[in-house]
Amino acid sequence: MALPTPGRIAYIKARLLDPATGLDGPGGLLADGEHIVDFGQGLFQPESLPEGTRIVDCCGYCLAPGLVDIRMQLREPGYEYKDSMQYTCLSAVKGGVTSMVCLPNTIPVIDNVATVEFIARRARLIGLTKVYAYGAATKGLQGIELAEMGLLAKAGAVGFTDGIHPIADALVMRRALSYAGTFGLTIVQHPEEPSLAAGGVMNEGEVATRLGLAGIPACAESILLARDLRLVELTGSRYHAAHISTAEGLETLCRAKDKGLPVSCDTAPFYFALNELAVSDYRTFAKLSPPLRCERDRQAVMEGLCLGLIDAIVSDHAPQDQDSKRRPFAQAASGGVGLETLLAVTLELYQNGHMSLLSALHLVTSGPANLLGLEAGRLIRGGAADLVLFTPDTAWIVVADVMGSKSKNSPFDNLPVQGRVLRTVIDGRTVFSAAVEESV
């Protein structure tokens, strides 16, 4: 079913923000159909607009490129009882996310052309957030035999990963890097040495000992990173480390970047806004993979963001049904929902004075888009009108029960945040709106 074509819309009285160009100032933006026609300061007055132009008064709020999330989990196909693409996309637009990239851990696994095409077709049919897919690095995510990367890339896969599983075999990783490199695409790794992490359910340390829970040492991250980065040096292929959570891991990546290796990394809001104390009282909503770390590691992740060592912030959205979460801590599933809180928690970096508003937005717009070569995350004349209108100062309490996702397992449940999405626009169409003055 074809989606209705939006008409000409003028967004006036906005604070325009574009981290890709450093734009930050009062102005407006004109969209015609699916594309941006023009934007800038003093662009137009309402009386000078062509007849039939709809006017959206932004009331001085921030108008920026829509958010780009390059690590999240779809539960469709295969796990619809946890979430569906419809609910996930609804959650995304409520959070201002206009483009996102899903991991391949669906059923069937995204290791064949048919599943890549299914994801793209379903997303177009729903007509909300644009959904891209990673292809599986190995068949069935088994870590043994490489998937058909060439066919997956041709079908639209934007990178290759085994998702929530590390590529543990060094020879398989070497071959994956070499193969992906022939297509100019990136291998994305979940950096956790599996034998060290086996049986662990939270960060190893004093808190785990006090709670009587098996721990995962911080070095599980840095050990696998060190191995992988030697293989990157050997192959020259692009490598991305997902959801970095430790000081040791960041130190390892820093040395690789200093050598000029083609490496990048991301983290999620969980790892700079929370620490292992969030699992006190055996709170399973805060059971994540990798686990929440100690305060020293949290501060190191924050410093890595401020220094530019970390290239992007991702939601790491992982919906889990209640039966999977409301169990004894050791048996509960890992993961938390994060699409609707991505912007607000990222804005803590700005609210707390750690970085400028543009720098914080770069980590969730042009930064992640650049890593995967996506045409998103920036304001471009003639480009897609994918926008988010938000206020950076509005305080609110995260209430998991009212989130758009079918699953409600947010580690930020009942916590205060600042920054509220007011409107999300995709290809010129308003797909989410909350209390914005509009006139025709």
Residue 260 burial (10 A CB sphere; 0-12, 13-18, 19+): exposed
Other Cβ atoms within 10 Å of 45 Cβ, number: 10
Residues labelled as active-site residues = 316
Whole-structure pTM value: 0.96
Query: How are the residues of the chain apportioned to helix, strand and coil, as percentages rounded to the nearest 5?
Result: 35, 25, 40
Q: Which helix (H) or strand (E) holds 6?
A: none
Task: Report the pLDDT value the prediction gives residue 4, as an integer from 0 to 100.
Answer: 66
3-state class (DSSP) for residue 306? helix
Task: Report the pLDDT value the prediction gives residue 50, as an integer from 0 to 100.
Answer: 73
In this structure, are residues 129 and 317 in contact, taking their beta carbons and an 8 Å threshold?
no
For residues 239 and 144, give the distance between their C-alpha atoms in angstroms, rounded to a whole number.
19
CA angle, residues 418, 423, 424, in degrees to nearest 5: 110
Strands (E), 231-341: 239-241, 263-267, 312-313
3-state class (DSSP) for residue 304? helix
Q: Domains in the chain and their CATH numbers?
A: 70-372 (3.20.20.140)
For residues 124 and 318, give the distance between their C-alpha atoms in angstroms, rounded to a whole number.
22
- Average pLDDT per 10 consecutive residues for the chain, totaling 440 residues: 76 96 95 95 70 90 98 96 96 98 97 97 96 98 97 97 98 97 95 97 97 98 98 98 98 98 98 97 97 98 98 98 95 97 98 97 98 97 98 96 93 96 97 62
Residue 37 burial (10 A CB sphere; 0-12, 13-18, 19+): middle
In this structure, are residues 429 and 3 in contact, taking their beta carbons and an 8 Å threshold?
yes
For residues 128 and 99, give the distance between their C-alpha atoms in angstroms, rounded to a whole number.
9
Phi first, then psi, for residue 240 (nearest 5°) are: -130, 125
In this structure, are residues 288 and 334 in contact, taking their beta carbons and an 8 Å threshold?
yes
Distances, alpha carbon 422 to alpha carbons 52, 64, 201, in Å = 24, 12, 37
Residue in 235, 242, 95 with CA at minimum distance from that of residue 171 = 235
Task: Report the pLDDT value the prediction gives residue 3, as an integer from 0 to 100.
Answer: 65
